[in-house]
Amino acid sequence: MKNVVLYYSRTRKTAVASKKLADEISADIIEIEDLKSRSGALKYINASMDAVREIKTDIKPEMVDLRDYNLIYVGTPVWAGKPAPAIITAIDKYNFQGKDVILFATLGGSGGKKTIKRMEEKIEVRGGRIITSFLIKTSGKKMHEIREEVKNKVEEMDLKIYGV
């Protein structure tokens, strides 16, 4: 049974967490890129507004064939208490029907639960089954500390048991 980690990351924190996760559980990994520029202070406000309104964006890859995978991890940064637009778009485009899904989000401090809840709702109506979820706080943490936290989560939550 093959597992895959799908993630979006603007400032590489979710990327670092996703890579560590994929290493720990021996999963494939696919980065979802947002083709809309999201860098700079003004863009931060737009990004938050897009997230709140769940405005779709152009993503790469436009389509991912999930048929080879039974267990799919989906990771997003929390943006204004919501998943990033690239992840909302990916959930709409990719086919989660019949898939087991584990969700995770990285965040500065708040809005994590709400973000996970929204992803759950969207994946469940598309026929995916949520197994579990977790949050990784990133504020003030160095990249090696984020990796360490992911490793601890994998152990605490026995994530290696799934999809073997």
Q: How many residues bind ligand FMN (CB under 6 A)?
A: 22
Contact 17, 146 (CB under 8 A): yes
Q: At what angle do helices 13-25 and 143-156 cross, to 10 degrees?
A: 40
How near is the Cβ of 15 to ligand FMN at its closest, in Å? 6
Q: Closer CB to ligand FMN, residue 98 or residue 109?
A: 109
At closest approach, how far in Å is the CB of 139 from ligand FMN?
6
Q: Between β-strands 69-79 and 82-83, what pairing exists: parallel, antiparallel or unpaired?
A: antiparallel
CA 78 to chain centre: 9
Q: Parallel, antiparallel, or unpaired: how do β-strands 100-107 and 129-137 relate?
A: parallel
CB of 90 to ligand FMN, least distance (A): 15
Q: Does 103 bind ligand FMN (CB under 6 A)?
A: no
Binding mask 50-89 for ligand FMN (x = CB under 6 A): ---------------------------xxxxx--------
| HSE toward the beta carbon, residue 67, CA cutoff 13 A | 2
> What residue ranges bind ligand FMN (CB under 6 A)?
9-15, 44, 47-48, 77-81, 106-111, 138
